[in-house]
Structure 1
Amino acid sequence: MTAKRIAIAGFQHETNCFGVTKAGLPEFEMADSWPGLLHGEKVILETEGMNLPIAGFAAAAQAAGIEVVPILWCSAEPSAHVTDHAFEAICGMLLNGIRDAGHIDGVYLDLHGAMVTESLADGEGEILRRVREVVGPEFPVVASLDLHANISAEMVEHADYLAIFRTYPHLDMADTGARCVPVLKRLLAGEPLYKAFQAVPYLIPLHAQYTGSTPFDEIYQLPVEFEQKDVLAEIALGFTAADFPDTGPSCVAYAATAQQATAAAGEIVDLFLAREADLDCSMLSLDEAVSKCRQKWGKPIVLADVQDNAGAGGTSDTTGLLAALIKGGAKKALMGLFYDPESARQAHEAGEGALVQLAIGAKSGLAGHVPVKAEFEVLALGDGTCRYTGEMYGGGVATLGKTAALRLVGHEAEIDLVATSVRNQCLDRAHFTHIGLNPKSYSVICVKSTTHFRADFEPIAGDVFPVSSPGTFLCDLEKIPYACIARRLPYTGDAAISQHKAEAH
């Protein structure tokens, strides 16, 4: 019997509609947290063993005797909109690759689910529509999505199955890709799968989406329970910085009958509604964060600069928390990662051990943001090649560009920080250890990350606190100038639930 041939491809971007810089073709071609644009066999060779959906799918498919036909894979660091040029260029490569693949029996796509382009609110819906147009209505098409996907009816319509991460931090990316393989085999065998799609009628800020917390420890048990009934249930929590009507949590269920699928989706939404009041959307103010630094902890405390997360389209160069810690005289504090190519370059020119006057941060032109001007000692320098050691990205390599470890001098505060030349979310201790800084030796660790840092930093932390410091990825949803959102904000204690005006595009 001839092995089935499945075309595989990936095109990922998480779009912050309130971000500063857009994602053009060069951003997809360059390596950052993940490899740059890959073609053909390099898709397999350069992602093998990584915690990526396409790597998980490829390994599981090959183990099942399925031949994979790799087309391309790319991602860009989250930012403002994907340019029309980049979208059309990459879609063109993807579709031509499918057309030129010879006889294939199905398609697997590694997508994000929250892509917005200069002209399209629903990037993934359009990708799936175009793929469906090429392969036809009866052809099996499956895709994996990020937990933060904003799922649209068009995405559900054009894909036979959507698998979604179940953990945040995303420890199951490869596993999610692998979950598509048995479903694809069912589809290839002609088994019917009925779909049911329902949206949850409120938004959840990302720092409250930590799946190790209540109520998600209960919500994400439902897919496991449904599997015992041969029902596939997939849950997305949404990406709140994408401003269009489909933004927000939702679920998709698949089953042998429409009734089973509809019942499962309804049960999931009912649980979301029942547990809305249990969401923890709290953040410390800057003054409260400084106060935490003065308390005694057996292990380092972690302050998460959640609104300046490069992994959510933040500039990764705001200085609100740094300035507050300097003013408050914080002791033995470590901060990163600051996206500041200029300061990194100056440190490299000065050399290790030198004292250099720097203006740290605030280079992206955000209104009201100013750099921290001070003297720093250059502790260490690096080329930015950082091999991840934590569970989430372990085995992968970050490309940070020229990097500098710096120590504040001439102030009461004791602060070390890392400046890089490529924007990167601080989610792995290797971001510090690769340049000679040991996070365990500090009293305070400040990370520009929303939740992913928890996987590697929480095991060494005395406690973890999200901090409300200014940035372009707002976690206080009341402050986001939405124009198109069609769902309400989450319930936050005694405050009434707010309702934004919904305007369709």
Structure 2
Amino acid sequence: MSRPRIAVGGFMHETNTFAPTRADFAAFDGGGGRPIMRGDEVITLTRGTNNGIAGFVESPEAQAWEIVPTLWAHASPSAHVTQDAFDRIAGELVQAIEDAGPLDGIYLNLHGAMVAEHADDGEGELLRRVRAAMGDAIPIVVSLDLHANVTEEMVAYSDALIGYRTYPHVDMADTGARCATYMARIVGTTQRDAKAFRRIEFLIPIVWQCTYIEPCKSLYSHHVTMEAAGLPTISFSTGFPAADIPGCAPTVVAYAADAATAERAADEMAGLVNDAESAFAGQVWTPDDGVKEAMRIAQTATKPVVIADTQDNPGAGGDSDTTGMLRALIAQDAQRAAIGNIVDPGAAAAAHEAGVGATVRLALGGKSGVPGDMPLDEAFVVETLTDGRFTATGPFYGGAKLDLGLSACLRIGGVRIVVTSRKAQMADQQMFRQVGIEPRDQAILVNKSSVHFRADFAPIAETILVCASPGPMPVDPAVLPFTKLLPGIRLSPSIAPGHRVK
């Protein structure tokens, strides 16, 4: 008896429809630090990393299958995927699946919040094309990001949508492995589980979706309890709130052998999320007040105070080049402070041309046209220069090899700045070390990230503050100019003042 043949592939993008820069084809083919992977590269280049493909392929179940790699493409979060990029990549992926020959199953590593110029529901459109090409009999199992904006079409065109359960996403590979376990349940059979879908009627700010803190910590623990009681799988997706599309919302999808069980499970999980609405809250500091508070804490701290520059998070569509937090550090005369990454290819090139030890006058950052932000015109000392290539060893990137292009450490007063040529979320200590900054030796670290940085930085942090300087990913979704949300969706739970997130 021949082994089941399972095709694997992926197409990932998280789209902030309010962000300044769109994702063209080049953004997927090297622009996000990783080129498009084709054929065997899909397996060899993801092996051993925190990637859904790796988790699926390396799972015990997959050892009994013939794995057929197709294509995997990823770009850093940004504004819409261009129609050209979507059609080229989706077309190549669907064609590769068709060319794979007879298949018994398909596993796709998707994000769940892709918006293209011509398709508000990017994953729904991709899954529609795959289903149209391959028919209804072949099971399609999909891993999704925790921030997925799940739609009825995505549910309809797949046999299971299985989401991450951690934010920071340290379980991407584990989610791929869970998809393999589910695939083993249905591959080679006509068995298909009943599905139940629920949409939550309020948007959740990204920074309060963290699963290290409440209420998400308890909500995601409940998934495990429900599955331990016999439910095949259930996923609560917190949603990506900076997407002006009808499908923007948190959701729950449950699967069970019978419809009544799936419906009860979906209702139970959705009820818990609704009951927790007011708990999706925390304190947000202005840049100057946040730096002052960090400096106060640092006077007696034994570890760095870490500040999240949350509104310029490149993991949520920012270009990682706003200067609000850098200005606050300078204005408050912060010492032993470091900030990263400021993405400015021109500044990085100028630093390399000037050389280590030189003082260069630069208009640093601020090139994205974000309201309230502008380049910082100052003289900086060039302390170190690198090619931007390194291995990210923390739990989020999970051993991935990154290429941020020409990079430099610039200093102004007591503040050091990681300047890179390509954007990637500051979620790994090696991003500081790659330009000679030891993060543990700093009094204050400012990270352009909302939550992912916690995976590698929380263990070395005295405390964590959240600051809001100008950027395209507002802490409160209610300030965004939505036009397409479904009626009845509340724009955000309240943001409660008065306490610091630990």
User: What is the TM-score with the length of structure 1 in the denominator?
Assistant: 0.95
| 1:32 Cα deviation from its structure 2 partner | 3.2
State the match for 2:478 in structure 1: 478
- 1:72 corresponds to 2:71: yes
- Partner of 1:404: helix, strand, or coil? strand
- Partner of 2:182: helix, strand, or coil? helix
Q: How does 1:266-415 map to 2 (within 5 A)?
A: 266-295=267-296, 296=299, 297-409=301-413, 414-415=414-415
State the match for 2:500 in structure 1: none
State the match for 1:501 in structure 2: none
| 1:401 Cα deviation from its structure 2 partner | 0.3
State the match for 2:462 in structure 1: 462
How many residue pairs get aligned? The number is 490
CA contact (8 A) 2:311 2:470 kept: yes
Amino acid corresponding to residue 437 of structure 2 in structure 1: L
In structure 1, what is the Cα distance between the partners aligned to 2:336 and 2:165?
Answer: 36
In structure 1, what is the Cα distance between the partners aligned to 2:496 and 2:279?
Answer: 12
| 1:20 Cα deviation from its structure 2 partner | 1.2
- Partner of 1:335: helix, strand, or coil? strand
Amino acid corresponding to residue 44 of structure 1 in structure 2: I
In structure 1, what is the Cα distance between the partners aligned to 2:294 and 2:59?
Answer: 46
In structure 2, what is the Cα distance between the partners aligned to 1:62 and 1:214?
Answer: 34
| CA distances 1:193-214 after superposition (whole Å, capped 9, x unpaired) | 1100001111101000000111
- Partner of 2:411: helix, strand, or coil? strand
| 1:50 Cα deviation from its structure 2 partner | 0.8
- 1:128 corresponds to 2:127: yes
CA contact (8 A) 1:163 1:180 kept: yes
Amino acid corresponding to residue 342 of structure 1 in structure 2: G
Amino acid corresponding to residue 236 of structure 2 in structure 1: I
| 1:323 Cα deviation from its structure 2 partner | 0.9
State the match for 1:56 in structure 2: 55
In structure 1, what is the Cα distance between the partners aligned to 2:61 and 2:220?
Answer: 28
| 1:477 Cα deviation from its structure 2 partner | 1.6
CA contact (8 A) 2:295 2:444 kept: no
In structure 1, what is the Cα distance between the partners aligned to 2:4 and 2:295?
Answer: 62
| 1:190 Cα deviation from its structure 2 partner | 3.0
| CA distances 1:144-178 after superposition (whole Å, capped 9, x unpaired) | 00000000000001100011000000000001011
In structure 1, what is the Cα distance between the partners aligned to 2:496 and 2:332?
Answer: 32
Q: How does 1:106-505 map to 2 (within 5 A)?
A: 106-188=105-187, 189-231=189-231, 232-295=233-296, 296=299, 297-409=301-413, 414-486=414-486, 487-492=489-494
Q: Give runs of ≥4 in structure 1 deviating > 6 Å.
A: none
Call closer, same or farther: CA 1:212–1:219 in 2, change over 3 Å: same
Deviates more, 1:216-225 or 1:288-297: 288-297
In structure 2, what is the Cα distance between the partners aligned to 1:179 and 1:377?
Answer: 49
- The unaligned stretches of length 5 or more in structure 2 are 498-502
Call closer, same or farther: CA 1:316–1:493 in 2, change over 3 Å: closer
| 1:98 Cα deviation from its structure 2 partner | 1.4
Amino acid corresponding to residue 228 of structure 1 in structure 2: A
CA contact (8 A) 2:32 2:74 kept: no
| 1:293 Cα deviation from its structure 2 partner | 2.8
State the match for 1:93 in structure 2: 92
Amino acid corresponding to residue 492 of structure 1 in structure 2: S
| 1:229 Cα deviation from its structure 2 partner | 2.6
CA contact (8 A) 1:277 1:491 kept: yes
State the match for 1:503 in structure 2: none
Q: How does 1:2-41 map to 2 (within 5 A)?
A: 2-30=2-30, 32-33=32-33, 35-41=34-40
In structure 2, what is the Cα distance between the partners aligned to 1:137 and 1:63?
Answer: 22
User: What is the TM-score with the length of structure 2 in the denominator?
Assistant: 0.95
Amino acid corresponding to residue 196 of structure 1 in structure 2: A
| 1:228 Cα deviation from its structure 2 partner | 2.1
Amino acid corresponding to residue 304 of structure 1 in structure 2: A
Amino acid corresponding to residue 298 of structure 1 in structure 2: T
- Partner of 1:89: helix, strand, or coil? helix
Call closer, same or farther: CA 1:169–1:494 in 2, change over 3 Å: closer
CA contact (8 A) 2:356 2:383 kept: yes
Call closer, same or farther: CA 1:316–1:228 in 2, change over 3 Å: same
- 1:84 corresponds to 2:105: no
In structure 1, what is the Cα distance between the partners aligned to 2:42 and 2:142?
Answer: 16
In structure 2, what is the Cα distance between the partners aligned to 1:308 and 1:433?
Answer: 21
CA contact (8 A) 1:281 1:492 kept: no
In structure 1, what is the Cα distance between the partners aligned to 2:423 and 2:429?
Answer: 16
Call closer, same or farther: CA 1:63–1:478 in 2, change over 3 Å: closer
In structure 2, what is the Cα distance between the partners aligned to 1:367 and 1:279?
Answer: 27
In structure 2, what is the Cα distance between the partners aligned to 1:63 and 1:107?
Answer: 12
In structure 1, what is the Cα distance between the partners aligned to 2:380 and 2:292?
Answer: 25
- Partner of 1:220: helix, strand, or coil? helix
- Partner of 1:147: helix, strand, or coil? coil
State the match for 1:104 in structure 2: 103
Call closer, same or farther: CA 1:493–1:90 in 2, change over 3 Å: closer
In structure 2, what is the Cα distance between the partners aligned to 1:192 and 1:372?
Answer: 57
Deviates more, 1:233-242 or 1:223-232: 223-232
In structure 2, what is the Cα distance between the partners aligned to 1:277 and 1:31?
Answer: 39
RMSD: 1.4
In structure 1, what is the Cα distance between the partners aligned to 2:282 and 2:199?
Answer: 20
In structure 2, what is the Cα distance between the partners aligned to 1:318 and 1:112?
Answer: 26
CA contact (8 A) 1:276 1:490 kept: no
| 1:494 Cα deviation from its structure 2 partner | 7.8
CA contact (8 A) 2:478 2:492 kept: no
State the match for 1:44 in structure 2: 43
| 1:366 Cα deviation from its structure 2 partner | 3.0
In structure 1, what is the Cα distance between the partners aligned to 2:50 and 2:496?
Answer: 41
CA contact (8 A) 2:338 2:416 kept: yes
Percent of pairs identical after alignment?
44
| 1:63 Cα deviation from its structure 2 partner | 4.4
| 1:493 Cα deviation from its structure 2 partner | 6.3
In structure 2, what is the Cα distance between the partners aligned to 1:127 and 1:144?
Answer: 14
In structure 1, what is the Cα distance between the partners aligned to 2:125 and 2:119?
Answer: 8
In structure 2, what is the Cα distance between the partners aligned to 1:396 and 1:493?
Answer: 35
| 1:217 Cα deviation from its structure 2 partner | 1.6
